Amino acid sequence: MMKLKNQTIVLTGASSGIGAEAARIMARKGATLCLVARREEQLKEVQQAIEAQSGTAFIYPCDLSDNVAIDACAARILDEHPRIDALVNNAAHSIRRPIEQSFARLHDYQRTVQLNYIGAVAMTLQFLPRFVQQGHGHVVNISSLSTQIPIPLFSAYLASKSALESFTRSLEAEMGHQGVSTTVVYFPMVRTPMSSRTAIYKYMPMMHVEKAAGWIVEACEKRPARIARPMGKLGSVLLAAAPGPVTRLPQPLFRGMDKMLANRLKKKR
């Protein structure tokens, strides 16, 4: 297991939720955090919380949907830190919308892919030369349980995450011998501000932020190829073996669950 003490870790999506909690945990373990997110004031709050516990954190406000801004942000981090041990691409955007309501909304897919896939790849590409120069470097990319068990209504989000998974596997296959390692983290639904935007999910059981943050910490410490629930691992095997049935058969269950959650929300109002 890699001890985090004296490790320098770049963490995107660090201004709130899972990213902010993971930053606080890793700082308590002795890591130096480079916190990246769009909202500067919230980044400062996370930095102050870390420093109040004698931790070390630097903030780098950046719009991760802007590739020019990403290049400038990464250049500044690389200039200010002679060694980078890990990059965690945690920032993400999700859209819950049926495909049949998206016929005239190509931009939903474009902006989701830009942040979740292109932005993560753009950030990764900037740090890879340093990782090769050092002879080591770890990339943690965040995906979803729902790429392992197909669900409806999240086609833009899941497509972007599937692309990121494929990039991650290619990265280790090509550059593993140069010291570059990778982990894909397959989160289930987590109780965050992003998931809370969907009203019916108020009544859905979800992973707590603290546990999800612990998965990111585990990814940086133990560096496995993936971190996932057993259900997700089984889903991956079944999806590879029988993609048609595995995609079709659960759909009535998902539709029934959405209806049940909607009814619960209606009764509470």
Q: SS3 of 39, please?
A: coil
> CA-to-CA distance for 139 and 170, rounded, in angstroms?
12
Helix H or strand E segment including 221:
helix 209-222
Is residue 157 annotated as part of the catalytic site, yes or no? yes
Helix H or strand E segment including 187:
strand 180-187
DSSP letters along 80-132, please?
H-S---EEEE---------GGG-TT-HHHHHHHHIIIIIIHHHHHHHHHHHHH
Residue 212: half-sphere exposure toward Cβ, Cα within 13 Å: 22
Give me the catalytic one of 60, 117, 157, 186: 157
Nearest to 159 by CA among 174, 144, 139: 144
> CA-to-CA distance for 202 and 199, rounded, in angstroms?
6
Handedness of CA 57, 118, 96, 169 (dihedral sign): negative
> In Å, how far are 59, 122, 137, 148, 217 from 73, measured between CA atoms?
10, 11, 18, 32, 23
> CA-to-CA distance for 192 and 254, rounded, in angstroms?
21
> CA-to-CA distance for 223 and 96, rounded, in angstroms?
31
> In Å, how far are 30, 165, 224, 231 from 57, measured between CA atoms?
11, 28, 25, 36
Could you list the active site residues? Answer: 157
